[in-house]
């Protein structure tokens, strides 16, 4: 616990920490908010860390949660540092003014990564610009994959989400000592982080902890418990062990990660499949979060900033040449997307009419993006007019084929477009004026609840951040959303029990397409 004696010192509930002054702000990294989740605590809810004596050094990022690496197809685009160690339930704080009395707005960041990858140590998530502009920024590590979202008969569900709740409680209790206002906490996340933020907003146990929320490219949702169980059973079969937390806890950590990566290789954001995710558990998540939020039973007074990127799907389909493969598969890929979204033929016909020049991959990608993301966010905004603000990020990456893809907006939100890790998605030449505009909107929202454009109403205003000056469009996705609202979802098809049962041909096509996806993801 040797500390640099020149840095700022703040006392937390478990002991004092010493940070660093960097670029005019105070930074504290790797502060434990819960005990290491291993040994007897593995697959269990988080517990408070052991208090420490003296001053703990908080100059470096703490350990990251166990996770497999990105495949060769995705690694060139996405940074995901690995920091070894058991004490992975930690967080980081950037503040312009440590110490009580400042009472500045607070932004708590939950990273994305499909609940299987990512961490708070990704350089794109550096919170210095928020602190520079008067917002205390906190970023959080939480358990991932089977460690955080495996479903077992002998352990409580959702330990990763419970980690996030523990971190949020730590912030509410402690952030005043770092210059923050516990009454002005904005919970913010992207992709899986946004899904997590939505689940926490709807959780009865978080009421009063959050003043505002930002959902970037992720709606409030839960997974079907059977899909999660199938992932656990796949792993258990490969490991030749029972599908219990006790048996999984005895497995070597690296072997468990390799097995998780192999079991999940056929899952895809476009085609679905077994996956790890948040489930209704009757406790922290008592019901579907989207229903709870749209029906007004939760977080009634929380202001929302929500949105998407124009070409979300291109991050899922461009790496490894999958975009071209989907175009070649044609009707098979379209049928797979229809099955994924439980959509009738009127949906792709409607998209063809709206986008007559689009190829199959674009139709598939936009259909799935609308179904899993834009339609739920529209529904949530419709349920909270006057307190919801929507945006679309439309600036295209300078790298071939990516367009305005999933996660591209992150360097603009954090004003970290100049770091090498942001350029892995954006390429060279990301406009600083767009960084200023988007980051400024997030700062205004965290500070006042108003990002700088009209709140959602019957005209459906959406702030578009693209080439040129940001502008407000009215109902830019209404035609596509209307297709889904007009056509009721089909029921989940039963899994065929014999080779020639109804739907067997489609099921076989889906398996072929998932194998194609899996081959790409392994590269």
Residue 265: pLDDT band with limits 50, 70, 90: confident
Residues 167, 110: Cα–Cα separation, whole Å: 10
Confidence at residue 114, expressed as pLDDT on a 0 to 100 scale: 94
In a domain, 266, yes or no: yes
In a domain, 2, yes or no: no
Of 183-187, 305-309, 508-512, the one with minimum mean pLDDT is: 508-512
**Residue 408 burial by CB count (10 A; 0-12/13-18/19+): exposed, middle or buried?**
buried
In the predicted structure, residue 292 carries a pLDDT above the cut 60: yes
Confidence at residue 507, expressed as pLDDT on a 0 to 100 scale: 46
In the predicted structure, residue 519 carries a pLDDT above the cut 50: no
In a domain, 151, yes or no: yes
Confidence at residue 2, expressed as pLDDT on a 0 to 100 scale: 45
Backbone angles phi, psi at 137, to 5 degrees: -110, 130
Residues 384, 255: Cα–Cα separation, whole Å: 46
Catalytic residue flag (residue 191):
yes
More confident residue, 511 or 371: 371
SS3 383: helix
Structure token digits, residue 113: 């990564």
In a domain, 277, yes or no: yes
Residue 479, domain CATH: 3.40.50.1820
In the predicted structure, residue 422 carries a pLDDT above the cut 90: yes
DSSP string across 269-334: TTTB-S-------SSSS-S-HHHHHHTT-S-TT-EEEEEEETTTTHHHHSGGGHHHHHHHHTHHHH
Residues 192, 278: Cα–Cα separation, whole Å: 10
Of 51-55, 71-75, 217-221, 425-429, the one with minimum mean pLDDT is: 71-75
Confidence at residue 393, expressed as pLDDT on a 0 to 100 scale: 98
In the predicted structure, residue 162 carries a pLDDT above the cut 70: yes
Residues 255, 242: Cα–Cα separation, whole Å: 16
Backbone angles phi, psi at 26, to 5 degrees: -90, 135
More confident residue, 39 or 520: 39
Catalytic residue flag (residue 312):
yes
Catalytic residue flag (residue 72):
no
Q: What is the mean pLDDT of residues 437-448?
A: 98
Q: What is the mean pLDDT of residues 207-233?
A: 96
In a domain, 122, yes or no: yes
* Per-residue pLDDT tens digits for 482-514: 999 998 666 654 443 333 333 444 444 445 445
Confidence at residue 497, expressed as pLDDT on a 0 to 100 scale: 38
Confidence at residue 495, expressed as pLDDT on a 0 to 100 scale: 44
Confidence at residue 3, expressed as pLDDT on a 0 to 100 scale: 47
Catalytic residue among 406, 421, 439, 516, which? 406
Structure token digits, residue 523: 């590269």
In a domain, 1, yes or no: no
Q: What is the mean pLDDT of residues 351-359?
A: 95
Question: How many domains, the chain?
Answer: 1
Residue-number span of the structural domain to which 48 is assigned: 9-522
The β-bridge partners of 308 are 392
In the predicted structure, residue 82 carries a pLDDT above the cut 90: yes
In the predicted structure, residue 522 carries a pLDDT above the cut 80: no
The mean pLDDT value of the chain amounts to 91
* Residue 463 near residue 392 (C-beta atoms within 8 A): yes
Confidence at residue 46, expressed as pLDDT on a 0 to 100 scale: 98
Which of these, 125, 90, 95, lies nearest to 109 by C-alpha position? 125
Catalytic residue among 97, 147, 312, 362, which? 312
More confident residue, 159 or 337: 159
In the predicted structure, residue 517 carries a pLDDT above the cut 70: no
Which of these, 306, 307, 315, lies nearest to 397 by C-alpha position? 315
Confidence at residue 489, expressed as pLDDT on a 0 to 100 scale: 61
> Would you give the distance in Å from CA 361 to the centre of its chain?
24
CA-to-CA separations, 155 to 111, 245, 265, 270, in angstroms, rounded: 25, 6, 25, 30
Residue 434: pLDDT band with limits 50, 70, 90: very high
Provide CB contacts within 8 A for 416, sequence distance 6+. Answer: 123, 124, 125, 126, 129, 410, 422
**Looking up tokens 């490969």, which residue turns up?**
238
Q: What is the mean pLDDT of residues 56-75?
A: 95
In the predicted structure, residue 375 carries a pLDDT above the cut 50: yes
Residues 201, 305: Cα–Cα separation, whole Å: 13
Catalytic residue among 128, 139, 191, 388, which? 191
Confidence at residue 271, expressed as pLDDT on a 0 to 100 scale: 65
In a domain, 3, yes or no: no
Structure token digits, residue 311: 């070409």
Instruction: For the chain, give the number of residues.
Output: 523
| Secondary structure of 101-159 in HEC code, one letter for each residue | CCCEEEEEEECCCCCCCCCCCCHHHCCHHHHHCCCEEEEECCCCHHHHHCCCCCCCCCH
Backbone angles phi, psi at 58, to 5 degrees: -125, 45
**Looking up tokens 């002054």, which residue turns up?**
21
In a domain, 325, yes or no: yes
* Per-residue pLDDT tens digits for 333-351: 888 888 888 899 999 999 9
Which of these, 395, 474, 473, 391, lies nearest to 434 by C-alpha position? 395
Confidence at residue 500, expressed as pLDDT on a 0 to 100 scale: 34
DSSP string across 224-274: -HHHHHHHHHHHHHHHTS-SSHHHHHTS-HHHHHHHHHHHTTT-BTTTB-S
* Residue 213 near residue 188 (C-beta atoms within 8 A): yes
Residue 4: pLDDT band with limits 50, 70, 90: low
184 C-beta neighbours (distance < 10 Å), count: 21
* Residue 65 near residue 9 (C-beta atoms within 8 A): no
Backbone angles phi, psi at 465, to 5 degrees: -105, 100
């Amino acid at each position: 616990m040797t500390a640099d004696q020149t840095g700022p010192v703040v006392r937390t509930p478990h002991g004092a920490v010493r940070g660093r002054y960097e670029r005019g702000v105070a930074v504290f990294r790797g502060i434990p908010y819960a005990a290491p989740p291993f040994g007897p605590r593995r697959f269990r809810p988080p517990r408070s860390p052991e208090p420490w004596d003296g001053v703990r050094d908080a100059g470096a990022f703490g350990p990251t949660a166990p996770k497999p690496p990105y495949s060769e197809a995705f690694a060139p685009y996405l940074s995901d540092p690995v920091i070894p160690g058991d004490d992975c339930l930690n967080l980081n704080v950037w503040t312009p003014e440590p110490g009580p009395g400042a009472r500045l707005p607070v932004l708590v960041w939950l990273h994305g990564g499909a609940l299987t990858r990512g961490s708070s140590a990704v350089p794109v998530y550096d919170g210095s610009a928020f602190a520079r502009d008067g917002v205390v920024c906190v970023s959080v590590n939480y358990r991932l994959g089977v460690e955080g979202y495996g479903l077992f008969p002998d352990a409580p569900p959702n330990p990763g989400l419970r980690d996030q709740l523990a971190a949020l409680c730590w912030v509410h209790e402690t952030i005043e000592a770092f210059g923050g206002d516990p009454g002005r906490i904005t919970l913010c996340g992207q992709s899986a982080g946004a899904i997590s933020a939505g689940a926490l907003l709807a959780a009865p146990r978080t009421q009063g902890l959050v003043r505002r929320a930002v959902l970037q490219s992720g709606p409030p949702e839960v997974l079907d418990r059977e899909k999660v169980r199938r992932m656990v059973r796949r792993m258990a079969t490969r490991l030749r062990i029972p599908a219990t937390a006790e048996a999984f806890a005895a497995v070597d950590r690296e072997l468990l990660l390799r097995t998780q990566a192999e079991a999940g290789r056929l899952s895809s954001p476009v085609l679905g499949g077994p996956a790890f995710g948040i489930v209704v558990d009757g406790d922290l998540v008592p019901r579907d979060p989207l229903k709870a939020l749209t029906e007004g039973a939760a977080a009634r007074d929380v202001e929302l900033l929500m949105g998407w990127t124009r070409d979300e799907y291109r991050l899922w389909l461009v790496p490894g040449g999958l975009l071209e493969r989907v175009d070649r598969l044609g009707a098979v890929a379209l049928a797979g997307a229809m099955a994924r979204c439980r959509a009738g033929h009127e949906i792709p016909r409607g998209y063809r009419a709206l986008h007559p020049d689009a190829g199959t991959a674009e139709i598939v990608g936009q259909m799935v993006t609308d179904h899993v993301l834009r339609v739920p966010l529209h529904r949530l905004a419709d349920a909270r007019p006057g307190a919801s603000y929507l945006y679309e990020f439309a600036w295209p990456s300078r790298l071939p084929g990516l367009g305005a893809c999933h996660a591209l907006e992150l360097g603009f939100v954090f004003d970290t477009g100049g770091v090498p890790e942001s350029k892995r998605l954006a390429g060279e030449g990301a406009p600083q004026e767009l960084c200023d505009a988007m980051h400024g909107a997030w700062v205004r929202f965290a500070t006042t609840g108003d990002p700088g454009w009209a709140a959602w109403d019957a005209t459906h205003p959406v702030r578009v951040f693209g080439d040129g000056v940001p502008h407000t469009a009215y109902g830019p996705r209404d035609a596509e959303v209307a297709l889904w609202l007009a056509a009721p979802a089909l029921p989940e098809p039963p899994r065929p029990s014999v080779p020639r049962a109804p739907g067997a041909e489609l099921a076989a096509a889906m398996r072929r397409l998932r194998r194609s996806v899996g081959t790409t993801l392994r590269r």
